[in-house]
A and B are shown apart, each in its own frame.
Chain A
């Protein structure tokens, strides 16, 4: 049994290596044929294009490397905000789906059902064209100001594009997270609810302090893959013109003709991003599981 699985692993490894060699070979042949070779010198040249949105100072006379960095930061910004908001929304909706309140239950159920039927790209376009571009100019107190130029939250201006991508990613991923949370929560024995209720704890407090911590070991691994999905899905930002890493790379490649180098950089940047996410989640996972094991 062990020998056979070892054999299988060796076989798969050999196949993978062969495939990789083929790819590298193709890349080399292509580079030779175009007579270009790998060259990253263009990264230092001025980009010449403007970006609608930048976290750090940027002008068209800055170089391509800086433009790509700004794109990377824009991606990071929308992904980080999306992770936090999707988690909050997903946990709330997941909790609502296993609540004793029928109205809450069906609202959350409807949300999950609808969102999972519609492709993310359409949802992004919906948020962009229907929800945010259609916004009337209405200051809500001094905290939030809405207009079709964007939203100003506590004096921090957010572009319409950013808001559309963030909302789309949050609402879409939140629905998947809600399902994961519901699954984890349902696996916690009913007796735990009865115990905290009989002690006079409120539903909310009991959920946070008793049920959720016991559901976490089941939730976390699946959550990681949703987080990675959110990061990958963020490249759809280009559909609404948000200047994320993918959009900036796309423009860069068109202007410089440096498709291979551009894609290599894009690949590495995303690898870096996703390693960051899986690394962080692995850390959280280990802490939570360690704490659970200690209690066993």
Chain B
């Protein structure tokens, strides 16, 4: 088993005296799907945003795909990690002034210096895979939320990432649009992608996750396989959280 992400004692503090991450350690194996759950404000977003250097660490160290990140937050490792790790946000964050195709090809052309034609071919393939090939020449605002989120996934995949991070990818969607996004993620997991997914979709976690990690107040409360997490969680806090979910 190779390790994709190893976190050791991560500390992050936005305001002095309070810690959004308070000594988090974990490992994500290559090809594994880790689902992260926890109440609002528990530090889930902060955690996965440290994985691609969007948040600067205040303590501890990270090893992402063999690249080391710590409180020094040097530019070169951050850049390398961002090229090899994709991220999908709750609010999609598509670029509203660019067409769907340009949204997807911008980074491959500008960052990886791929020829434009080749990048566009790949973008069409990815849109096809997401079931929205016919949207290529529209602009983000002309698409439904579910379609926009699938474009965001395609945009991240266009860089051929080795790890994909998802921060509540379905929380901003209408209920009837959730499935199409989860289906795309399910397919990605089946293809062997390493994924860290912050989500409250119990069905997805039960079915797709290899492990579920439960966080509270910046700390890892427990990490279990989904079957035992959902039927008999070890910790009282996890059980209380789960009982409020359903």
Measuring CB to CB, which residues of chain A are less than 8 angstroms from any residue of chain B? 189, 191-192, 194-202, 205, 209-210, 213-214, 291-292, 294-296
Contact = CB atoms under 8 A, between A and B. Distances in A.
A194 B165 CA distance: 13
Contacts of B83: 200
A214 B97 CA distance: 7
A214 B89 contact: no
Interface stretch (B103-111, B174-182, B236-244): B103-111
B3 to A, nearest CB: 22
A201 B111 contact: yes
Nearest to B85: A198
Given A198-B52, A199-B159, A205 B97 contact: no
B139 A199 contact: no
Interface residues on B, range: 20 to 34
A214 B155 CA distance: 19
B111 A199 contact: yes
Interface in B97-120: 97-99, 106-107, 110-111
Interface of B: 49, 52-54, 79, 82-83, 85-87, 89, 91, 93-99, 106-107, 110-111, 139-141, 155-156, 159
A163 to B, nearest CB: 38
Nearest to A190: B93
Nearest to B78: A197
Contact of B111 (A191, A200, A210, A214): A200
B95 A197 contact: no
A213 B98 CA distance: 10
Contacts of B97: 213-214, 291-292, 295
Given A200-B159, A214-B97, A195 B111 contact: no
B93 A194 contact: yes
Contacts of A194: 49, 54, 87, 89, 93
30 contacts: A189-B91, A191-B89, A191-B93, A192-B93, A192-B95, A195-B94, A197-B53, A197-B54, A197-B82, A198-B54, A198-B85, A198-B86, A199-B82, A199-B106, A199-B107, A199-B155, A200-B79, A200-B82, A200-B107, A200-B111, A200-B159, A201-B106, A213-B97, A214-B97, A291-B97, A295-B98, A295-B140, A295-B141, A296-B96, A296-B141
